[in-house]
Amino acid sequence: MELWDLRVTVESIEGRSVCGLVVGDYFELTDSSHLTVPAGRHFCIYALASVLPMLAAKQRALADDDWLGHEALACCPDPEERLVMRIDRLRRATLDEGELT
């Protein structure tokens, strides 16, 4: 089975950053379910929660006309922050289906 490894990066913050994220902060999702954040950094759980529903779909092959294949932005739900994140596909990973749930 092939899945994409992903990087979710803070693209912009148009309000005040209540959670302490800055433009350029990111996390990576690899090997289907491994979430990593650079050492010494963090990622807000509320921003993470807002982007999670899109990640499983972005990991998979999508039809050419699927809107999600062309959309890469997600927003944090905090209206004071107006934080926008970009989801990028990094590389395809080949995984053993028997090891996945």
pLDDT digits (tens, 9 = 90+) for 9-56: 999 999 988 889 999 999 999 887 889 999 999 999 999 999 998 898
| Residue of higher predicted confidence among 99 and 27 | 27
- Helix, strand, coil percentages (3-state) for the chain, rounded to 5, are 20, 35, 45
pLDDT for residue 85 = 95
- pLDDT band at 57, cuts 50/70/90? confident
Give the residue from 43, 51, 6 showing the smallest Cα distance to 24.
43
Mean pLDDT in the chain? 86
The rounded distance, in Å, linking the Cα atoms of 97 and 84 is 33
The rounded distance, in Å, linking the Cα atoms of 86 and 3 is 18
pLDDT for residue 14 = 92
